[in-house]
C-alpha cells in the first residue's frame, strides 16, 4: 500500500466571496473538492515507483479563480510539476485537459458557456506517451467520437508535459535514493515450498466467498509457518509474518494474471468477454415512488427513486456558481456488502466518486424541468459486491426511474472493463469482478444507451495505454452493454405513464409576472393561507410566472389552483359577478368580485330609482349581482347593480350635460357681446 494523500481546497476569497455558516470560514471539503482530489490522485498514483512506501501528501489550494480557466486542470499541472522538481521519485510529468464538442467542433479547455452547450465533456490526463485517466459525460455519442476526443486531448497533454519538462530541466532537485520495499527471501522460499501451489489452485474456485475463504486459510497457514522460524526478535518475527501475508497475496495475483493472459480463463471460469449471470427486477418496495434491483453475479444493487417538488433541489454554492441540482444519484456501500464489519458514517471519497459517475450517466437521458417538473433522487444501496457495483447502480437506477414514471429518453446500462498486460500482450476483460479489478491493470467503466455513450471513467495502474487498447475496450464494452440492456428490458421496457400513488401529483399554470406578488402576499401571508387551506400543499413559483403545485391528493391541487386562479383573475367590462359587500361608505360601497379584486359601487348605480342612503340598502356581507362598467389604467374597477336589473316601465333617462339657470359668467358675457357686435355690423352693411 502506497500512502499517498491528495487534497484540493477552495478558498472562497479566490472568487471574492465570504463563506456562509456561523463561523464564516471554509469547512469540510465540498463534494466538488472531493471529486477534484480524486481526479488529481488517479493519474499521479501509477507514476510512483513500485515498492515506494514513503508517505506523500499533496495539497492544492485555489488562491484566485477565473470561471473560464479550470482550477482542476491547473491543480493537476501544479501537483505534477511540484513532484517532478522535488526529490521524490516520480515518473512524471503528467498533465490533463478538458475537451468539449460544440456544433461538431472539439474544443480544448472550454469556457463555462461552451461546456454548457456541448454534447460531450471529457477530462483526460496522461503523460506524453500515453493516457492514464479519463472522466467523461456525453449525450449518447458514438465510441468513435469518444475516442477522437481522447486523442485530441492527449495531443494537448503532450504540449503541457513539454512545458513542465522545461521547468524541470531548469530547477529540479536530484531525486532521493530510497530503498524500495522487498520481501525477505526466506519468507518467499517457505511460501513457495509449502503453500504457493495450493493458493494457485484456490484461485480457480468458482464462488467468491469459498475462494476467498480458502485463500485466506492458506495464507494464514503460511503466516503460522513463518512465525515458527527463528528470528532475531519479536519485531523481526512480526515483520516476517506480515511479509508472508503480502507474498501470499502476490502469489494469488500472479495466478489470476497468468490464467487470463496465458489460458484466457478467468477465476470464475468465464471467457474474457463473457458477462456474469444477470437478473433485473422492479417494484420490490411497495411504499416508495419507484424501486428496482439489478444483480450481476455476486454483485447486487437496490435502487430507490424519490420524486419531490423542484424546491427540493440541492443548492450548490461553490467558487464560480450558485446553482440548484435537480437530479441526485447517491451511492451507498455498506461494509456488510463485502461480508465485513465496519463503521457506518457519512459517504467517503469512493462513494462520492461512484455516485457522481452514475449521476453523470443518467443525467443525459432525463427529461428537462419543463417536461417533468420534479426534483429526482435515486439512492443506490449495494447489498452485495464482487466488483462493478457502480455500474450495477446505473442499471438499477435506470429501472427505478422508469418504475417511478420518470419519462427518460432511453435506458442506460453500465459495464466495467478490465485489462491484463504481460509484456507486449494484453487481454481485455468484460464485466470484471473484485479480484480482477484488484489485480488487473485497468478499471474502465462505460455507461450508455443503445445509441451511444453517456458516461465513461478510466483508471489504470500502469503508466498508460495505447489508442489500440482503448478502441478495442470500447468495442467490447458496447457488446456487453447491449446484452445488459436486453436483460433489463425483460423487467421493464418503457417508463410508466404515471407516477406512483405515493408520489406527489403535479399540476402547473402560468400566472402574470405582475401577479406573483398578489399570490405570495405581503411577507408570504397569502401563499401561507393557501398552503394551510390545502393540507400543506407545496407550491413552487418561478420568476417567469410558472406556478407548480405538488400534493398526493388531486383534490387539494385542484383547490389550490382555484384559489390562485381567483387571485390572478382580472375583471373585464361587461362581466357579471355575485359580489360580496366588504365595506359601506356614505355614498358608495366596496364589493369583492373574487379574492384579491374589489370594486366600487356608487349609490347612483345601486338601482334605477333614487336611493337616498346606501347604508339603508346594503350591509357588509350582503351578496349582490353587479356588472363591471369600467376598469381604469391603475386597475381600479367600477361596477353597477342596476345594470343587472330591468328598467322600470316609463323610465326616463336623466338629461345629459345639464347646466343650472343663472347669470352668464364673464366668458359667456364676452362671447355674447361679440356675437351681437358681429350681427350689428352685418345689418349696417346690408342697409
- Residue 667 has a pLDDT of 45
92: nearest Cα among 132, 136, 55, 32: 132
pLDDT at 666 over 70: no
366: nearest Cα among 410, 330, 399: 410
- The residue whose grid cell reads 390562485 is 564
Higher pLDDT, 655 or 166: 166
- Residue 655 has a pLDDT of 63
505-568: CATH class:
alpha beta
Which phi and psi (to 5°) does residue 211 adopt?
-65, -50
Q: What is the pLDDT of residues 416-470, one digit of tens each?
A: 999 999 888 999 999 999 999 999 999 999 999 999 999 999 998 888 888 999 9
- Residue 654 has a pLDDT of 65
The superfamily in CATH containing domain 4-171 is GHMP Kinase, N-terminal domain (3.30.230.70)
Q: What is the pLDDT of residues 1-25, one digit of tens each?
A: 789 999 999 999 998 989 888 888 8
Task: Report residue 672's pLDDT band, with 50, 70 and 90 as the boundaries.
Answer: very low
Do 4-171 and 505-568 come out as alike in CATH topology?
no
Task: Report residue 28's pLDDT band, with 50, 70 and 90 as the boundaries.
Answer: confident
Task: Report residue 302's pLDDT band, with 50, 70 and 90 as the boundaries.
Answer: very high
SS (H, E, C) 177-233: CCCCCCCCHHHHHHHHHHCHHHHHHHCCCCCHHHHHHHHHHHHHHHHHHHHHCCCCC
Taking the C-alpha atoms of residue 394 and residue 365, their distance in angstroms, rounded to an integer, is: 12
426: nearest Cα among 463, 469, 467, 478: 469
Give the least confident one: 38-52, 293-307, 313-327, 481-495.
313-327
Q: What is the pLDDT of residues 122-160, one digit of tens each?
A: 999 999 999 999 999 999 999 999 999 999 999 999 999
What is the average pLDDT score of the chain?
A: 90
59: nearest Cα among 5, 13, 15: 5
Task: Report residue 595's pLDDT band, with 50, 70 and 90 as the boundaries.
Answer: confident
pLDDT at 485 over 60: yes
pLDDT at 668 over 70: no
The superfamily in CATH containing domain 278-491 is GHMP Kinase, N-terminal domain (3.30.230.70)
Cβ-contact 133, 140 below 8 angstroms:
no
pLDDT at 597 over 60: yes
- Residue 656 has a pLDDT of 55
Task: Report residue 209's pLDDT band, with 50, 70 and 90 as the boundaries.
Answer: confident
pTM listed for this prediction: 0.83
- Residue 675 has a pLDDT of 43
Cβ-contact 72, 107 below 8 angstroms:
no
Task: Report residue 475's pLDDT band, with 50, 70 and 90 as the boundaries.
Answer: very high
| Long-range pairs of 309-316 with CB within 8 A, sequence gap ≥ 24 | 309/374, 309/375, 309/504, 309/538, 309/540, 309/548, 309/550, 310/369, 310/373, 310/374, 310/375, 310/540, 310/548, 311/375, 311/538, 311/540, 312/375, 313/375, 316/32
Higher pLDDT, 158 or 567: 158
157: nearest Cα among 99, 222, 97: 97
- Residue 492 has a pLDDT of 98
Give the least confident one: 430-434, 650-654, 671-675.
671-675
Question: So where are the chain's domains?
Answer: 4-171, 185-263, 278-491, 505-568
Q: CA Rg, the chain, in Å?
A: 39
- Residue 677 has a pLDDT of 41
Cβ-contact 597, 655 below 8 angstroms:
no
Eight-class DSSP state of 30:
P
- Residue 678 has a pLDDT of 41
Question: Which stretch, 386-395, 417-426, 644-653, 659-668, has highest mean pLDDT?
Answer: 386-395
SS (H, E, C) 340-398: CCCCCCCCCHHHHHHHHHHHHHHHCCCCCCCCCCCEEEEEEEEEECCCCHHHHHHHHHH
- Residue 322 has a pLDDT of 80
Task: Report residue 623's pLDDT band, with 50, 70 and 90 as the boundaries.
Answer: very high
- Residue 657 has a pLDDT of 55
3-class SS of residue 477: helix
- Residue 659 has a pLDDT of 52
Which residues pair with residue 302 across a beta bridge?
293, 381
pLDDT at 631 over 60: yes
3-class SS of residue 93: coil
CB burial of 113-126 (b: ≥16 within 10 Å; e: otherwise) equals ebbeebbbbbbbbb
Taking the C-alpha atoms of residue 340 and residue 513, their distance in angstroms, rounded to an integer, is: 57
Give the least confident one: 70-79, 239-248, 440-449, 607-616.
607-616
Amino acid at each position: 500500500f502506497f500512502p499517498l494523500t491528495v487534497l484540493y481546497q477552495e478558498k472562497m476569497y479566490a472568487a471574492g466571496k465570504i463563506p456562509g455558516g456561523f463561523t464564516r470560514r471554509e469547512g469540510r471539503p465540498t463534494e466538488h473538492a472531493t471529486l477534484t482530489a480524486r481526479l488529481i490522485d488517479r493519474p499521479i498514483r501509477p507514476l510512483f515507483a513500485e515498492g515506494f512506501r514513503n508517505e506523500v501528501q499533496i495539497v492544492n489550494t485555489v488562491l484566485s479563480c477565473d470561471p473560464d480557466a479550470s482550477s482542476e486542470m491547473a491543480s493537476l499541472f501544479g501537483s505534477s510539476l511540484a513532484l517532478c522538481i522535488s526529490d521524490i521519485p516520480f515518473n512524471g510529468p503528467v498533465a490533463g485537459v478538458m475537451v468539449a464538442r460544440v456544433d461538431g467542433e472539439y474544443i480544448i479547455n472550454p469556457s463555462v458557456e461552451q461546456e454548457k452547450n456541448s454534447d460531450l465533456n471529457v477530462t483526460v490526463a496522461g503523460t506524453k506517451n500515453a493516457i492514464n485517466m479519463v472522466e467523461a459525460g456525453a449525450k449518447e455519442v458514438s465510441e468513435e467520437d469518444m475516442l477522437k476526443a481522447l486523442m485530441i486531448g492527449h495531443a494537448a497533454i503532450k504540449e503541457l508535459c513539454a512545458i513542465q519538462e522545461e521547468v524541470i530541466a531548469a530547477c529540479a532537485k536530484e531525486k532521493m535514493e530510497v530503498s524500495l520495499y522487498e520481501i525477505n527471501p526466506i519468507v518467499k522460499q517457505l511460501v513457495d515450498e509449502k503453500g504457493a501451489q495450493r493458493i494457485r489452485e484456490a484461485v480457480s474456485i468458482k464462488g467468491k466467498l469459498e475462494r476467498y475463504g480458502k485463500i485466506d486459510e492458506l495464507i494464514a497457514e503460511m503466516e503460522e509457518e513463518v512465525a515458527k522460524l527463528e528470528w532475531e526478535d519479536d519485531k523481526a518475527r512480526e515483520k516476517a509474518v506480515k511479509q508472508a501475508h503480502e507474498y501470499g497475496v502476490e502469489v494469488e495475483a500472479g495466478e489470476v494474471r497468468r490464467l487470463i493472459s496465458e489460458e484466457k480463463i478467468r477465476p470464475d471460469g468465464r471467457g474474457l468477454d463473457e458477462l456474469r449471470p444477470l437478473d433485473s427486477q422492479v417494484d420490490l418496495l411497495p411504499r416508495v415512488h419507484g424501486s428496482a434491483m439489478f444483480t450481476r453475479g455476486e454483485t447486487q444493487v437496490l435502487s430507490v427513486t424519490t420524486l419531490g417538488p423542484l424546491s427540493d433541489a440541492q443548492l450548490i454554492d461553490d467558487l464560480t456558481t450558485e446553482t440548484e441540482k435537480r437530479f441526485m444519484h447517491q451511492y451507498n456501500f455498506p461494509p456488510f456488502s463485502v461480508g465485513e464489519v465496519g463503521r457506518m458514517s457519512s459517504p467517503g471519497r469512493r462513494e462520492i466518486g461512484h455516485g457522481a459517475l452514475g449521476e453523470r450517466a443518467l443525467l443525459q437521458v432525463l427529461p428537462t424541468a419543463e417536461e417533468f417538473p420534479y426534483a429526482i433522487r435515486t439512492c443506490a444501496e449495494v447489498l452485495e459486491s464482487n466488483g462493478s457495483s457502480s455500474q450495477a447502480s446505473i442499471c438499477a437506477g435506470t429501472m427505478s426511474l422508469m418504475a417511478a414514471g420518470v419519462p427518460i429518453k432511453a435506458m442506460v446500462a453500465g459495464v466495467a472493463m478490465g485489462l491484463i498486460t504481460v509484456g507486449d500482450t494484453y487481454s481485455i476483460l468484460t464485466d470484471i469482478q473484485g479480484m480482477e479489478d484488484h489485480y488487473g491493470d485497468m478499471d474502465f467503466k462505460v455507461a450508455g444507451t443503445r445509441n451511444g455513450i453517456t458516461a465513461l471513467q478510466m483508471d489504470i495502474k500502469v503508466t498508460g495505454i495505447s489508442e489500440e487498447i482503448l478502441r478495442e475496450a470500447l468495442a467490447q464494452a458496447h457488446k456487453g452493454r447491449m446484452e445488459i440492456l436486453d436483460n433489463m428490458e425483460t423487467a421493464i421496457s418503457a417508463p410508466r405513464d404515471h407516477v406512483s400513488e405515493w408520489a406527489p401529483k403535479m399540476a402547473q399554470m402560468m400566472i402574470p409576472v405582475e401577479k406573483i406578488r398578489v399570490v405570495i402576499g405581503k411577507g408570504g401571508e397569502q401563499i401561507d393561507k393557501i398552503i394551510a387551506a390545502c393540507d400543506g400543499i407545496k407550491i413552487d413559483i418561478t420568476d417567469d410566472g410558472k406556478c407548480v403545485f405538488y400534493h398526493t391528493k388531486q383534490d387539494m391541487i385542484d383547490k389550490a389552483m382555484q384559489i390562485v386562479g381567483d387571485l390572478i383573475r382580472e375583471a373585464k367590462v361587461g362581466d357579471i359577478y355575485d359580489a360580496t359587500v366588504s365595506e359601506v361608505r356614505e355614498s358608495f360601497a366596496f364589493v369583492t368580485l373574487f379574492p384579491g379584486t374589489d370594486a366600487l359601487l356608487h349609490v347612483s348605480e345601486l338601482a334605477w330609482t333614487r336611493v337616498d342612503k346606501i347604508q339603508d340598502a346594503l350591509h357588509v356581507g350582503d351578496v349582490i349581482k353587479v356588472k363591471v362598467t369600467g376598469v381604469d389604467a391603475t386597475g381600479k374597477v367600477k361596477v353597477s347593480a342596476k345594470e343587472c336589473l330591468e328598467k322600470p316601465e316609463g323610465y326616463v333617462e336623466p338629461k345629459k350635460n345639464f347646466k343650472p339657470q343663472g347669470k352668464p359668467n364673464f366668458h359667456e358675457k364676452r362671447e355674447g357681446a361679440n356675437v351681437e357686435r358681429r350681427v350689428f355690423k352685418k345689418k349696417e352693411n346690408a342697409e
